[in-house]
């Protein structure tokens, strides 16, 4: 006689019906339809050649042979869980740490939903986030092994493998009383006002300053402010116009006007790892989580 060809999913559904005494509730517990539960149990009964569930107005109950078989089913399901746990331990996913170096804006606006999803799947893996201000600091953290993964500006050099996750436009943030041309902001209009930028060594500030040079525009910075929230508060008080990456500036008060630069400027953001590093299974698992959310691969 050939061996039965039943599936683990059928056994799980049988166990769920036995626990809840109802096909509908069993389906809800496994996040499948009632009809899927009914079909799975019927198929299992056909495969085994016995009736496992007695169906009636008062619910679904195990037959005597169903009770005997359920005891074996529970042993099989327990062994199945043990197999998965053993494999996870071998892959290093039942523990370990992932070190991430990131700009604050990326850590604030990009990482939280990914972290929530990751922790749900791998609760035993500890994720540490190091918030940094400079591109060089993030790159050096990866190179020296202080961080496994870096969230940073792209492109990076060939010592890294990198992936893109978003493009973030630089915007002009102006006080409510300043009248600028919304549809066609000019350099001369912009440069008539005090300019607020991060310090010259800040990565975002460097991108803005290089952009002005490429456009042959003289940029005279009135205030160099490290914290974007402080810069936005100064704009709200009418002290000047800030030029910041949109993600960095959030949240922006409704009273502040937002414009694009006369020539559009974006920063390309991504995540990178050291190409020659031996990454732990936990690090690979986090890279997979990032790729599920932002799958574009960039060649270094």
246-295: pLDDT as tens digits: 999 999 999 999 999 999 999 999 999 999 988 888 898 999 999 887 65
pLDDT for residue 1 is more than 60: no
- Containing 271, the helix (H) or strand (E) segment is strand 266-274
User: Smallest Cα–Cα separation from 267: which of 288, 246, 281, 253?
Assistant: 246
- Please report which confidence band the pLDDT of residue 198 belongs to, taking 50, 70 and 90 as the band edges: very high
Indicate the pTM of the whole model: 0.65
Region 109-134 average pLDDT: 91
User: Smallest Cα–Cα separation from 170: which of 118, 223, 243, 114?
Assistant: 243
The total of other beta-carbon atoms located within 10 Å of residue 27's CB is: 21
User: Smallest Cα–Cα separation from 279: which of 65, 99, 41, 25?
Assistant: 99
Q: Is the Cα torsion angle 204, 206, 211, 215 positive or negative in sign? A: positive
- Rounded to 5°, the CA angle 102-107-110 comes to 120
Q: For the segment 2-31, what is each residue's pLDDT rounded down to a tens digit?
A: 556 788 999 999 999 999 999 989 989 888
pLDDT value, residue 296: 53
pLDDT value, residue 86: 78
pLDDT value, residue 56: 80
pLDDT for residue 237 is more than 70: yes
- Containing 121, the helix (H) or strand (E) segment is helix 111-121
Q: What integer best gives the mean pLDDT of the chain? A: 89
pLDDT for residue 188 is more than 50: yes
pLDDT value, residue 295: 57
7 by DSSP, 3-state: which? Answer: coil
Whole-number Cα distances in Å, 88 to 81, 259, 287:
11, 50, 17
pLDDT value, residue 2: 57
pLDDT value, residue 300: 34
User: Smallest Cα–Cα separation from 244: which of 180, 170, 189, 168?
Assistant: 170
């Amino acid at each position: 006689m050939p061996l039965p060809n039943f599936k683990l999913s059928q056994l799980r559904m049988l166990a769920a019906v036995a626990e809840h005494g109802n096909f509908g509730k069993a389906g809800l517990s496994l996040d499948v339809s009632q009809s899927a539960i009914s079909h799975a149990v019927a198929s299992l009964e056909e495969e085994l050649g016995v009736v496992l569930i007695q169906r009636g107005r008062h619910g679904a109950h195990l037959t005597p042979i169903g009770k005997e078989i359920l005891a074996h089913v529970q042993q099989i399901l327990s062994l199945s869980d043990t197999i998965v746990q053993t494999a996870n331990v071998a892959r290093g996913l039942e523990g370990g740490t992932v070190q991430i170096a990131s700009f604050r804006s990326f850590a604030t606006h990009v990482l939280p939903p990914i972290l929530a999803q990751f922790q749900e799947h791998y609760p035993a893996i500890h994720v540490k986030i190091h918030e940094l201000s400079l591109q060089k600091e993030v790159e050096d953290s990866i190179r020296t092994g202080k961080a496994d993964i870096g969230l940073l500006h792209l492109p990076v050099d060939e010592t890294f493998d990198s992936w893109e996750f978003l493009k973030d436009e630089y915007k002009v943030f102006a006080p409510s009383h300043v009248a600028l041309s919304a549809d066609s902001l000019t350099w001369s209009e912009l440069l008539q006002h005090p300019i607020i930028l991060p310090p010259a060594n800040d990565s975002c500030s460097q991108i803005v300053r290089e952009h002005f040079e490429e456009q042959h525009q003289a940029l005279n910075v009135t205030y160099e402010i490290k914290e974007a929230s402080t810069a936005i508060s100064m704009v709200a008080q009418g002290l000047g116009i800030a030029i910041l990456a949109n993600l960095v500036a959030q949240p922006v008060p409704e009273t502040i006007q937002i414009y694009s630069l006369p020539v559009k400027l974006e920063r390309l953001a991504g995540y990178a790892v050291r190409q020659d590093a031996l990454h732990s299974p936990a690090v690979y698992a986090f890279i997979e989580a990032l790729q599920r959310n932002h799958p574009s691969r960039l060649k270094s």
